[in-house]
Amino acid sequence: MLQSVSISSKNQLTIPSAFSKALNLKRGQRLVVERVGQSLVFTPAETLVHQLAGSIQSSKPISNDELERMIEEAKKQHFRENP
């Protein structure tokens, strides 16, 4: 499926509803964006967390702030290993 989007004055993109529905994306959901050549690849942040499952040890439930911090650290590590 091919659709065009435009960049807003705030450098924001809107994901076409057909893609959003097909990928089951929800309002407020976090995505990780990666540059691959001349393309941008968007991946749900939860996918990154699931890929790291078992590598994070925690004896208590993880707060949203802690999850955000872990996602940021995981992204930094991912991009160091996959330039």
- Each domain of the chain, given as residue ranges in start order, spans 19-81
CA distance 16 to 14: 6
What's the mean pLDDT in 45-66? 67
User: Which of 12-16, 18-22, 32-36, 46-50 comes out lowest in average pLDDT?
Assistant: 46-50
Instruction: Calculate the average pLDDT of the chain.
Output: 81
Q: Tell whether the torsion through CA atoms of 33, 35, 38 and 39 is positive or negative.
A: negative
What's the mean pLDDT in 43-61? 68
Look at residue 50 and tell me whether its pLDDT is greater than 70: no
> pTM of whole model > 0.85?
no
Look at residue 6 and tell me whether its pLDDT is greater than 90: yes
Q: Which long-range contacts (CB under 8 A, 24 or more apart) does 46-54 make?
A: 48/74, 48/75, 48/78, 49/74
